Structure 1
């Protein structure tokens, strides 16, 4: 069906998103038995073909589809996959579901990708709690009782049922500022401690080098994703474009829609200064990953709030800047508009994505999928999805798996990716459903593990909280419709403020925004979200 498989394009964010693949060829030899355990005798005698739909971004040639071989050998499963552009995937899926079609298995569903709409319309099959306990014991083992209680309350639908299996985050603090230490040292600069210092420092680097200091691609869901990395400097969570609401962990105050309140004027004034001084790429709202990767490879981009290892950042720019040296910010400090507060990104227990199954899928196929998913989160499954096949993608060194030198890793940008072996397509692995193998974080995320101990213990550090909301089905549908309109108005006016068509410090211009937001349903959104928050936190 496909001569090439495609992989989710997140190499600039995390080069090791590990996921599901499909068979490229039927005449490839079977894998050796050391790749996976043999299937249970007789249990999987019947081959099952399951239709799968995957959201992808960049093409990646599959040279040897190890994933398809594993599925066949271990579970006698064949995934008949159709891949769609990530930007079109949700629309295509909704259309297929609405016409009675659609895949039986989705390895990766997201709220922002219409999955709530699919739940509401009855397209997805719920995972019953008793079923999870009986069929997915390995999945429940990865959560503490407190974590699972929070995850279930946060991700269940308005009918109280769970329609996808959330992914567990393994590191509570993954993101911190990094910078081109070689340039900062060359010009006698220190990493900025405040937003004003950020602008002055980046202006100096731009004037000295001609480089664009901040280069990040936009996102199809909102052009503001490119600049959301600066939200936390002003007390907002960087995921506010997804959450829309947040809770202040110190005051416990709930903010229903702060991006259309006076709270957001300071950040807009800051972003306007960044844009006016050429510190942001001019087309940040529309740039593609290919465009930004090209600029970064040319040496542009000198600061980043990122989860990447510094050596990976070095690898992106080494050709254009042989002396490049990225580094984490000393003491993990974060520039803030309040000198008494240094805000970090505190990860939630889970990611709002995970596998889902189409309603009406036969019980035989459901049982086979549940067996597969339960294995995938076992130690054996985590090892396989984190490192691939021993001897092909990794080797054991003193009892610890290590990628072969030919492989790309979080610390080495060049080389084969697991996607080239069919293990990085559709987001079922890292970044999706499966937690990394136990040695992975110790090997590649030592700094993040250190950050997770150091940052939360420092005075003045905190992370904004994602609120739990409880909405009826009718209110959810109403809110989705209102926010689609409101978010469009927000994006339109924010871009005008950032790019200088309107002045965020001018009261008359600000009134234009608020009038448009109110007309687009801001009061109704605030009421629906506030009522849903109050309901969830009183129950």
Structure 2
């Protein structure tokens, strides 16, 4: 009742609740990171505009910042597809309307897909140009989850967009191995229109949780059990594990034990081992993560908090049977086509500027307009009617 936007997001098309989700806490997930030691060596500052980003990436490509005499630097790289395409933000495009890759987005109360917008065409056109010029990892769509480990570990990667907590740990891991290594968070560069925004945030409602089955003979007791995990005691148990085993109470607040924080296994893995921090229906407490997030990441998160440039996310809609039928009929093939064309354009197999009109016509033929009309109706019912 005290989190109306969450209630709206988890309500069914009839306004009732059928599912209790895992609800994250905190705002920020990913941010921009750059090799500050490379900038310093080349006498450059952190880029503030698309033009400055371009010049910095060219300098990383051409001026041997890793000092090995080889032109082997990879100026921009990313582990995940959503961040491989994130550079389109520089041209006021959106890579997604939420943390889910390729999601719908809200534009002044209107629901559309960001990959059908004119700014997207401009963004893809420029990213394709940068890719062709060698400013973007040639294997950005294929290198996979270990690209960060490989490119940073071999002193090759210059700039990326990734999770604050895990990315910042490379400073601790690589500083002893690479002289002067400094991978620092930076604010999102301003766009061509002068905006500064970050559109990667923690999902406020995760698509994981629990529900009561139709065959449950004790629904009242089950609801009481669900309620427990949203109480103060249940929230501590979910986030911090077992008192005396994984945490101690210090000044009335749970504090992870030193042997947990210093353990070779990640804190979340240790919690999973005792049944805590499992993505079921509970409310995360960001303090659980803050305690094992290093200083560099916390400084980056604080910088983004002060920037106040985080875009609101699209929190999803609950579709009725008719809407679901429309979605299932059209959307999977539309998304597949959009994703294929995105990579086709970036990799240079086709030109987005000359192919854009045909692309838009193909979206219409695949049922894009019907999907948007249906999604807007569901969005209005779920959010605007509840305001």
TM-score (norm. length: structure 2) = 0.79
Deviations 1:418-453 (A, max 9, x none): 424534889635x97331265754884754663465
Give the aligned partner of residue 73 of structure 2: 211
Counterpart contact for 1:179–1:302, Cα < 8 Å: yes
Where in structure 2 are the equivalents of 1:285-324 lying within 5 Å? 285-290=141-146, 292-309=148-165, 311-318=168-175, 320-324=177-181
Alignment of 1:528 onto 2:383: no
Give the alignment partner of residue 514 of structure 1, picking from 360, 365, 379. Answer: 360
Counterpart contact for 2:32–2:159, Cα < 8 Å: yes
RMSD: 3.6
**Superposed displacement of residue 186, structure 1:** 1.4
Give the aligned partner of residue 265 of structure 1: 121
Counterpart contact for 1:195–1:270, Cα < 8 Å: no
Give the alignment partner of residue 422 of structure 1, picking from 272, 282, 295. Answer: 272
Counterpart contact for 1:163–1:356, Cα < 8 Å: no
Distance 2:210 2:132 in 1: 45
Equivalent pairs, count = 372
Deviates more, 1:368-377 or 1:253-262: 368-377
Alignment of 1:455 onto 2:307: yes
Question: Structure 1 403/304 Cα, relative in aligned 2: closer, same or farther at 3 Å?
Answer: farther
Distance 2:332 2:92 in 1: 24
Query: Any gaps of 5 or more consecutive residues in structure 2?
Result: 67-71
Question: Structure 1 374/358 Cα, relative in aligned 2: closer, same or farther at 3 Å?
Answer: closer
Give the aligned partner of residue 106 of structure 2: 247
Alignment of 1:198 onto 2:53: yes
Secondary structure (helix, strand or coil) at the match of 2:47 reads coil
Alignment of 1:354 onto 2:203: no
Question: Structure 1 350/437 Cα, relative in aligned 2: closer, same or farther at 3 Å?
Answer: closer
Deviations 1:73-125 (A, max 9, x none): xxxxxxxxxxxxxxxxxxxxxxxxxxxxxxxxxxxxxxxxxxxxxxxxxxxxx
Give the aligned partner of residue 477 of structure 1: 325
Question: Structure 1 367/464 Cα, relative in aligned 2: closer, same or farther at 3 Å?
Answer: closer
Counterpart contact for 2:240–2:271, Cα < 8 Å: no
Question: Structure 1 292/486 Cα, relative in aligned 2: closer, same or farther at 3 Å?
Answer: same
**Superposed displacement of residue 468, structure 1:** 6.5
Secondary structure (helix, strand or coil) at the match of 1:213 reads strand
Give the aligned partner of residue 231 of structure 2: 378
Give the aligned partner of residue 241 of structure 2: 388
Where in structure 2 are the equivalents of 1:23-422 lying within 5 Å? 144=2, 147=3, 149-207=4-62, 208=64, 209=66, 210-218=72-80, 224-240=81-97, 242=101, 244-248=103-107, 252=108, 254-290=110-146, 292-309=148-165, 311-318=168-175, 320-329=177-186, 332-339=187-194, 341-345=195-199, 347=201, 350-357=204-211, 359-364=213-218, 369-390=222-243, 392-394=245-247, 401-407=254-260, 415-420=265-270, 422=272
Counterpart contact for 2:34–2:184, Cα < 8 Å: yes
Query: Any gaps of 5 or more consecutive residues in structure 1?
Result: 1-139, 219-223
Give the alignment partner of residue 433 of structure 1, picking from 258, 272, 282. Answer: 282
Distance 2:212 2:369 in 1: 36
Secondary structure (helix, strand or coil) at the match of 1:230 reads helix
Counterpart contact for 1:214–1:302, Cα < 8 Å: yes
Secondary structure (helix, strand or coil) at the match of 1:345 reads coil
Question: Structure 1 383/526 Cα, relative in aligned 2: closer, same or farther at 3 Å?
Answer: closer
**Superposed displacement of residue 353, structure 1:** 2.4
Distance 2:274 2:52 in 1: 40
Distance 1:453 1:291 in 2: 28
**Superposed displacement of residue 264, structure 1:** 1.0
Secondary structure (helix, strand or coil) at the match of 2:209 reads strand
Question: Structure 1 292/464 Cα, relative in aligned 2: closer, same or farther at 3 Å?
Answer: same
Question: Structure 1 164/322 Cα, relative in aligned 2: closer, same or farther at 3 Å?
Answer: farther
Question: Structure 1 258/398 Cα, relative in aligned 2: closer, same or farther at 3 Å?
Answer: closer
Deviations 1:167-211 (A, max 9, x none): 444333454322221221111121212223222212211331323
**Superposed displacement of residue 529, structure 1:** 2.6
Counterpart contact for 1:180–1:303, Cα < 8 Å: yes
Distance 1:496 1:349 in 2: 29
Deviations 1:494-532 (A, max 9, x none): 111000001123x2x223322332332222223323343
Distance 2:246 2:325 in 1: 46
Distance 1:442 1:450 in 2: 15
Counterpart contact for 1:212–1:301, Cα < 8 Å: yes
Question: Structure 1 152/397 Cα, relative in aligned 2: closer, same or farther at 3 Å?
Answer: closer
